[in-house]
Copies of this chain bind each other. A is one copy, B any other.
Amino acid sequence: MSPIHQTVAPRRGRPRRDRQPLTRQRIVAEAMAVVEGAGLAGLTMRGLAKRLGVDTMSLYNHVDSRDALLDAITGAVFADLRLPPATGGLRADVRAAAHAFRDTALRHPRCTHLALTRRPDSPTGPGPVAAALGILRRAGFPPATAVRVLRTGLAYLVGALLRELSAIPASDDAARRAEFDFGLDLLITAITDADRDARRG
């Protein structure tokens, strides 16, 4: 970032902010930066193009529309989610999965807010969903029940994170974390009890 290292290659024609070719990936990354900095309303195709040193219409060679760009941001948020390897302990694994989700959310709060509130229902890619289902299946839940338990957990996650993401400027991380864990542990206890009951009877 120091100016000393800013060796600018000679340019022909109109000055550009950079020489890298425009790609879909660069567009999405820059769009995410704009959303994090200026909010969703601050993301315009014209402003984004200017930041990339490109004509507005060039964006449309890589992205169908502003709406498609928002979908791409949503995809990028969830692509960032990685669940840790399962240990076999139901409580520990559910906790770890929920915290991995929360960590991703806190890494890009505004983009995650966007991702969680867009229509397409499945809030995560197939990878993490399969992993989370695996945790519940290994604990002994039959397939249909595992899906319902997972959906219940996702509902809590989405609601809790939506609230937390909106509260980020207002309250400190430790308080928000305690709040998140209270509800999470309540839910996990319900899940483990349901699991125990299912095994018993």
> What residues make up the interface of A, taking CB atoms closer than 8 Å to B?
113, 116-117, 119-121, 148-149, 151-152, 154-160, 162-163, 166-167, 179, 182-183, 186-187, 189-191, 193-194
Contacts and interface: CB of A to CB of B under 8 A. Distances in A.
Given A121-B167, A186-B191, A194-B186, A158 B162 contact: yes
Contacts of A148: 179, 182-183
Given A121-B163, A190-B193, 12 more contacts: A117-B162, A148-B179, A151-B179, A152-B182, A152-B187, A155-B156, A155-B158, A155-B160, A155-B183, A158-B158, A187-B187, A193-B193
Contact of A121 (B119, B149, B166): B166
17 contacts: A113-B117, A117-B117, A117-B162, A120-B166, A121-B163, A121-B166, A148-B182, A148-B183, A151-B163, A151-B183, A152-B186, A155-B183, A156-B159, A158-B158, A158-B162, A186-B187, A189-B193
Given A117-B162, A121-B166, A163-B121, A149 B179 contact: no
Contacts of A191: 186
B193 A152 contact: no
Contact of A190 (B120, B155, B189): B189
A183 B113 CA distance: 23
B158 A163 contact: yes
A182 to B, nearest CB: 5
Contact of A157 (B159, B179, B187, B190): B159
